[in-house]
Amino acid sequence: MNRHFSSTADKSAAHMQKISDLAGTLSFPRQRLDLLRQALTHPAFFEGKKRGGRRPEDNQRLEYLGDAVLDLLIGEYLYLAYPNAREGELSKMRAIIVCESSLAAQAKKLGLDEALLLGKGSELSGDRRRPSVLADAFEAVVGALFEAGGLEQARQFLYAQFKERMDRLSAEDYEDKKSLLQETVQKYSTKGVTYKLLDSRGPDHAPTFKSGAYWGKLLLASGTGSSKKESEQAAAQAALADKEQWLPAVKEHSPMED
């Protein structure tokens, strides 16, 4: 037997075993494992492969479908769970649940990262750990669940993933963290919060930024992110979580000079 063919066949069998195991975790209909495999097939997997006249079955169309199903079902749950919340507040709640980082975290918990089919270049560039790739895979799996099992199965899956978090949402979870921090400080001080870039590192395609949130010269907290804006939001979030440490100084003293 051709060694390359044998190796390829072994890899394919191992991957289908991962898909089968994942189907059990997700309660995915066994008769549609092909759809689950498609949901976990990154478009780059087909780079350099012969396609013929048939469109390759990557996960982009299922991702599109899953995005719509997510918005509908998460929106429906929040609408019923928070009858006094206005439209804008509900939109913010939904946005924090279906944001990239939230979906990527759930994808990793479910093991979608290990089951992804990636191209060689995509694998080498770290796409298996990239939040955007993981979030897309999660959306595609939701789309596949809807396609294979219908709306109720997709609903039960999403409730299992997010219900506990949705039930305990507060303004600090979904309101803009920088705005909340600014409001918190300005209850006691005429001087607001400023942000400084403390560090930046990493390759151009995957940089990491570190920013600090300051009240005058007092560092309230720092945070990291894949963009300067994201790192500032992370710093504000960290400052809000640790406000009991610095708020007494803000209450007691007038703003410090820069």
| Residue 139 annotated among the catalytic residues of the structure | yes
Beta bridge partners of 193: 215
Match 């000079």 to its residue by tokens: 257
Pick the catalytic residue from 67, 127, 136, 147: 67
Strand order in the sheet with 193-201: 193-201, 208-215, 218-225
What are the distances in angstroms from CA 123 to CA 110, 177, 192? 19, 34, 44
Angle between helices 100-110 and 3-26 (to 10 degrees): 110
Beta bridge partners of 225: 209
Pick the catalytic residue from 63, 113, 136, 139: 139
| Residue 114 annotated among the catalytic residues of the structure | no
Angstrom distance (rounded) from CA 154 to CA 66: 9
Which residues are marked as active site?
A: 67, 139
